[in-house]
Amino acid sequence: MRLGDIELHSILENYFHLDGGAMFGVIPKVIWSKLYPSDDNNLIRLDLNPLLIKTGQDIIVVDTGFGDILNERQRKINALAGETRWDQELARLNFKPEDITAVVLTHAHADHASGALKANPDGRPGLRFPNAKIYVQQGEWNDAMNPNERTAATYLVDNLRVLDDSGKMELLEGDGPLFSGVSVKVMGGHTPYSQAVIVDGGGQRVIYPADIMPSSAHIKIPYVAAVDLDPLTTMKRKRWLHEQMLKDGWILAFDHDINYKFARFREGEKGKVEPVKVE
């Protein structure tokens, strides 16, 4: 996709499986299973869709998937499909890991941040994108490095510490521009300091809100994952997304959808908001 002089690419880093009830919260299975069928273990497939942005000066990766540094137990818990596709996906776009100048993390959960690392030949984790600075909200990083009983399973502190010690971290304080045509907006909801990435170019806007609206099945306001720490804020942000996208024609990039990578919204029958695929 092109926005003026800016290129955007959805990356299929891998896919994994998660309990459907965890992804749809208070919505009964008899309803959500019509949108996302589950297997006999109640697991649904979720893609890992980082975003690659090429501006005139920078090549930016937004979120990084799981990567290849999980141990066998962690891989089994997340029912990962196979090996990371980062090298194949970059080669498909004629890039190398060394070409990436920035990594922006919407938040630091394992399925968004672990792919910023790679497994070195000695088994130790190292930086996947060695020339990239890594941007995340200061509050999110504080929470990630000091998880509580509820968040400890989603923040893999030992891995995050490798990033923390790399000298590449750039901690942000709130909303604002990062690069030409690229800005961030703190959303909250999923985690208190999770952020969306916004790309503007050619008179169009793309927003990557990550787990505020992880799939097209989550467009409906009450469809909020059980893991969201502040579901009321998530719902508030989804109402805001509906308003902006319907009024101004924004494009949304989904971080976990298996069918829609980019979509506009339209108002269908009885005011129902529906996705329209954008290639």
Please write the tens of the pLDDT for every residue from 163-179: 999 999 999 999 999 99
Closest-CA residue to 211 (of 110, 142, 138): 110
Structural contact between residues 21 and 27, judged by C-beta atoms closer than 8 angstroms: no
43 CB contacts (<8 Å, ≥6 apart)?
A: 17, 18, 19, 20, 79
| 220-260 per-position pLDDT tens digit | 999 999 999 999 999 999 999 999 999 999 999 999 999 99
At 102-158, the pLDDT tens digits run 999 999 999 999 999 998 888 889 999 999 999 999 999 999 999 999 999 999 999
The answer to whether 273 and 219 are in contact (CB under 8 A) is: yes
Answer yes or no: are the C-beta atoms of 91 and 62 closer than 8 Å.
Answer: no
Tokens of 124: 């130790």
What residue has token string 């509580």?
Answer: 148
CATH (domain of 70): 3.60.15.10
Residue pair 155/144 in contact by the 8 Å Cβ criterion = yes
Question: In total, how many domains does the chain have?
Answer: 1
pTM: 0.96
For tokens 């060394």, name the residue: 98
Q: Which domain holds residue 206?
A: 2-277
Q: Burial letters for 258-272: b for 16+ Cβ neighbours within 10 Å, e otherwise?
A: bebbbbebeeeeeee
pLDDT at position 248: 96
Q: How far is CA 230 from the centre of its chain?
A: 18
